[in-house]
């Protein structure tokens, strides 16, 4: 299974006071030629260090390096190009990653070494209101289980497309 502890000889810590630009986008799909490159071009232009992605539509789970950015992703386990979440980091920021846990096609966790406390980023893509109540319940239950297991002193960011209707 992909994910787990990332071992790197040159692991770095995100320092207190270091400015980090974090964003989240619903990209509708990254399953088209050139789409990931276009998004990375925008990330670079906007100087975003960490980008959470919803509706990535990449099957499986894993990581890859594209245009000096590290891409972590968690998608369906049936090979279909639907749902999916991801996090795109600059290579500099990727050196702080200590753990990547692909939870499901809708949830993933990335843990970063930081100082004075570590950082957890939970990227999510919530089911829409037309989905079965059981699917919605399982989604929120999985988030609660993850949050319960994280250290309270760490900085935890939950971000993504929560499909809220106002």
| Confidence grade of residue 6 (pLDDT, cut at 50, 70, 90) | low
Q: What is the largest CA-CA distance in the chain?
A: 47
pLDDT in the model for residue 163: 87
Q: Which pLDDT band, with edges at 50, 70 and 90, does 108 fall under?
A: very high
Token digits of residue 53: 């992605």
Global confidence as pTM:
0.89
| Rounded average pLDDT over 74-95 | 94
Which residues in 114-135 are b (16+ Cβ under 10 Å) and which e? Answer: beeebbbbbbbbbbeeeeeeee
Domain boundaries, the chain: 19-161
What pLDDT, on a 0 to 100 scale, did the predictor assign at position 1? 39
CATH superfamily membership of 19-161: Endonuclease/exonuclease/phosphatase (3.60.10.10)
């Amino acid at each position: 299974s992909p994910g787990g502890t990332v071992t790197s000889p040159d692991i770095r810590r995100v320092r207190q006071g270091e400015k980090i630009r974090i964003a989240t986008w619903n990209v509708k799909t990254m399953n088209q030629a050139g789409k990931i490159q276009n998004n990375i071009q925008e990330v670079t232009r906007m100087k975003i260090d960490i980008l959470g992605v919803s509706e990535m539509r990449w099957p499986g789970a894993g990581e890859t390096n594209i245009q000096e950015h590290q891409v972590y992703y968690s998608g369906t386990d049936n090979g279909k190009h639907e749902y999916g979440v991801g996090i795109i980091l600059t290579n500099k920021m990727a050196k702080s990653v200590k753990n990547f846990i692909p939870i499901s096609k809708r949830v993933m966790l990335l843990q970063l070494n930081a100082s004075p406390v570590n950082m957890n980023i939970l990227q999510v893509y919530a089911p829409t209101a037309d989905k079965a109540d059981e699917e919605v319940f399982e989604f929120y239950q999985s988030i609660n289980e993850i949050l319960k297991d994280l250290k309270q002193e760490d900085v935890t960011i939950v971000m993504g497309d929560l499909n809220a209707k106002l």
